[in-house]
Amino acid sequence: MPRGWQGNPPKNVDEARSRIVDAAMGCVARKGPAKTTVSDIAAELGVTRATVYRHFASLDDIWIAVSHAASDAFIDLLIVRVHNLSDPADIVVESLAYVVEQLASEPFAGVLISVGRAETLAVSMASQLAIDVTVSALRSFTIDWDALGYSDVDLDEFAEFVLPILHSLIVTPSKHRTARQLRMFLRRWVGPSIVPPPSPLPPSIRGHAGRTSSCDRHLQGA
């Protein structure tokens, strides 16, 4: 009879983690995230709970991995959503608004919201992986970031800037805005940060040496 991993053990740690994530997604699809447990995921794989915990410290860690695994599909939805737009600020504002409005209803990408893990979501959205996913989305849009003067570091910083805003609007909204009000809010406060490119800092607060952004390049030429 097949034993652990249904008689087909993973070849390495990465494959084990991937199969655990796939099993978790299967359980979520059938039972929903709120009713899915580590025991369910282990049973799906034919392993013990201890085996699952060997690769993920907690169920929350599994949910983080599930949400990241679903990020490409969610980015595809964003691209479709903004494909008729041409203005960079309009594209970014509409994509952010779409995330705020739709992420919670996505069974995999929005799983941390569904299970009420606001603190875990905050940690996840502050991670470098979340920044990388956001930059990937920004690069997928029909925006010529290079022509706008943005380097890779600038896009990293922009992602770092918008992710806490998204978290706040998704998890702890201070007001129940209509769709139009949400877009006006984002257009007013996020839109101006997109174009023109970052301006040089005043001499009194010029920063430390290190990563090179467009702002740093302005300073170096000053």
Say if residue 222's pLDDT is above 50: no
Return the pLDDT at 204: 61
pLDDT tens digit sequence for 134-188: 999 999 999 999 999 898 999 999 999 999 999 888 887 667 889 999 999 999 9
Give residue 18's pLDDT band: very low, low, confident or very high (50, 70, 90). Answer: very high
First to last CA, the chain: 73
Q: How many angstroms separate the CA atoms of 44 and 119, rounded?
A: 28
pTM of the model: 0.78
pLDDT tens digit sequence for 99-138: 999 888 888 888 888 888 888 888 888 889 899 999 999 9
Token pair for residue 133?
Answer: 């996913």
Query: For tokens 């595809």, what's the residue?
Result: 76
Q: What is the DSSP string of 2-71?
A: --GGGG---SSHHHHHHHHHHHHHHHHHHH-GGG--HHHHHHHHT--HHHHHHH-SSHHHHHHHHHHHTH
Give residue 202's pLDDT band: very low, low, confident or very high (50, 70, 90). Answer: low
Helices 38-45 and 13-31 pack at an angle, to 10 degrees, of 110
Mean pLDDT on 72-85: 92
Residue 199 Cα distances to 81, 151, 192, 215, angstroms: 30, 14, 12, 6
pLDDT tens digit sequence for 37-63: 999 999 999 999 999 999 999 999 999
